[in-house]
Amino acid sequence: MDKGTILVVDDDEDILTTTEVLLENEGFSCFTIKHPKDSYQIIKKNRINVILLDMNYIKGYTDGKEGIQWLNKFKTDFNEIPIIPITAYSDIELAVKAVKNGAFDFILKPWDNKKFLCTISSALVLNKTKSEKKNLEEIQQQLKDDHFNKTSELIGESAEILKVKQNIAKVSKSEANVLIIGENGTGKEIAGRLIHSQSDRKNEIFYRIDIPSIQANLFESELFGFEKGAFTDAKESKPGKLEIANKGTLFLDEISFLTLNQQAKLLSVFQNRKITRLGSTVETDLDIRIICATSKSIKELINSGEFREDLFFRINTFELYIPALKDRDDDIEILSEHYIKFFAKQYNKPKLNLNSKTLNKLKKHTWPGNIRELKNVIERAVILSDGNTLDISQVFISSELYNQSKDVTLNLAEMEKKWILMAIEKHHGNMTKAAKELGLKRSSFYRRLEKYEIK
C-alpha cells in the first residue's frame, strides 16, 4: 500500500538516489529534483504529501538564505504540505531558523534511517489532518452558500401561519432541539432553515440529511465517516455527515424512517456529543443544533414499538406544527400571487394576473400535496397560459380533483396515482411529456410507475 508521496529537493545526486531507494523500499512514492524551481510542475500534477528541502543550492554558499526563501514561498503556495529542511549537522542553527519560519521539523545529514522515517511519518499525519480540514472547510462553505441561496420565507398572513412564525422566532434564539411536524409539502424544511437563520449559529452550516435516501448498509459510513482502509472500498478517508455539520445545525428530514438500530446509534451520539469514524479509535467532539422533521406521528410509532421513546424525548425539546394548506386557505391567494409573480418572471409573462374565477377554483381544491402541489400547479398554469389571465383549466384536468363530494378519495397515494394516469392519458402515452407535466424527473416518474404497477 502506498503510504504517501514525498518530493525530495537536493542538488546532491547521491542524496537523491539514497533517499529515493530508502523511501520506495518503505512503501512511499517518491519524486526527486535538483532545484526547487522544478517543483511546481510536479506538485501541480501530483498529490504531494511531504517536501524534503535542501537549504543550499549555490556552490560555495552555506548560509541557507536561498533555502529559507524557498521555504517561505512553499509555505505561501502550498500551506497544507509539511516541509522538512535537510541540512548538515554544522548548520543546526539554520535548521532551527527554518522551523521558526514554518518548517514541520528538520533532518540533519547524515541521518539515522529510523529517525528519518519517523519524522516523515509524523509529517504525513499532519498533512492528512490539514488536507482533511481543508476539504471539510470547502464542503462546509459550499453548503453555507447553498443554505443562503435556499433560505426562503413562510409565506402567508393567516392566524395559523402567524403562530408558526412567532414560535420560530421564540425557539430560534435557544439551543433547544426542535421536532417539526406536518404533512408533506407544508414547508418543514423552510421552517428549519428559518430557525437556523435566526439563531446564533446562522453563520455556520445548515446541513439537511434526507433519512429515507440513505441505504441501510451505508448508514454508519455516511453519517459517521470512515478512515482509509476501514472497508474494501474505503480508498480515502472521508468525513461523515455529522462531522460536516459540526458547529452548525443538523436537519434530519423524515426521521421516522430510521430503523431501531439506527435510532440507537444516533441516540448515543446525541447524548455523548462525540463521533468516531469507522476504522478509527479517535473521538471527535460534536457541537450541533438538532432539528428533525416528520410527516408521520412519532407517538403512534412509539406505541407500535417502531420508534424509541428516549430518542423522541431527546429530539423533541420543542415541537413545531406546520399546518396543511387546507387548514390555512386564507393564504391561498397570497401564495398563488407569489408563485405567479415568480414564474411569470421566469417564463417571461410579466402581465399575468389572478382573477376571482381562478382564485375560487384554487380555493376549492383540497391540496393533498400542500404548498409543493400549489407551486407545481401555478408553474404549469403559467407555462400553458395565453394572454394576461392565469388559466388553470388545463392543469386541473378533471373537476373531480377539487370536487368535495364523498365519492372522491382524499388518499394521497391514490390521488398521486390518478394524476399520473391522467398525465399519461393527456400525452397519449408519451412518458417523457407526462413526467414533465407532473414536474418529475424521469427516474422519479418511473419509480412511481413501478410503485403503482402502472404499465
- Is residue 106 domain-shared with residue 162, that is, in the same domain? no
Burial 425-434 (b: 16+ CB within 10 A, else e): eeeeeeeeeb
Helical ranges in 316-399 per DSSP H: 332-346, 356-364, 370-384
- CATH number, residue 89: 3.40.50.2300
Examine residue 168 and state whether it is found in any structural domain, yes or no. Answer: yes
**In a shared domain, residues 309 and 398:** no
- Extended strands (E) in 22-116: 29-33, 50-54, 83-88, 107-109
Domains in the chain: how many in total?
3
Cα of 72 vs its chain's centroid, Å: 35
Whether 399 is in a domain gets the answer yes
The pLDDT tens digits for 401-413 are 444 444 455 566 7
* 14, three cell numbers: 547521491
Q: Per the domain annotation, does 140 fall within a domain?
A: no
User: Are 252 and 294 a contacting pair, CB within 8 Å?
Assistant: no
**pLDDT score for 302:** 96
83 plus 96 within the same structural domain: yes
pLDDT score, position 452: 79
CATH number of the domain residue 312 falls in: 3.40.50.300
**Same domain for 37 and 122?**
yes
pLDDT of residue 429: 74
- For residue 144, being part of any structural domain is answered with no
Phi, psi at residue 253, to the nearest 5°?
Answer: -85, 135
Candidates 308, 219, 315; CA nearest to 271 is 315
Of 97, 130, 163, the residue that ends a domain is 130
Asked whether residue 280 falls in the same domain as residue 165, the answer is yes
DSSP string for residues in 208-253: EEEGGGS-GGGHHHHHHEE-TTSSTT--S-EE-HHHHTTTSEEEEE
Burial of 381 from C-beta contacts in 10 A (0-12 / 13-18 / 19+): buried
Same-domain check for residues 212 and 339: no
Domain end marker among 321, 355, 380: 321
Same domain, 368 and 314: no
**142 belongs to a structural domain:** no
Structural domain containing residue 35? 5-130
For the chain, the distance separating the N- and C-terminal CA atoms, rounded to the nearest angstrom, is 51
Residue 25 within any structural domain of the chain:
yes
Identify whether 139 is part of a domain: no
pLDDT < 70 regions, the chain = 1-2, 58-63, 89-90, 131-140, 142-151, 394-412, 455
278, 299, 321 - which closes a domain: 321
Are residues 183 and 305 both part of a single domain?
Answer: yes
Same domain for 122 and 173: no
**Residues 123 and 159 placed together within one structural domain of the fold:** no
Q: Are residues 307 and 332 in the same domain?
A: no
The CATH number of the domain where 430 resides is what? Answer: 1.10.8.60
The model carries a pTM of 0.63
Q: What is the pLDDT of residue 288?
A: 93
Whether 136 is in a domain gets the answer no
- Give residues with Cβ within 8 angstroms of 202, minimum separation 6: 196
Kindly state whether residues 418 and 349 are assigned to the same domain.
yes
The whole-angstrom distance between residue 317's C-alpha and the CA centroid of its chain comes to 25
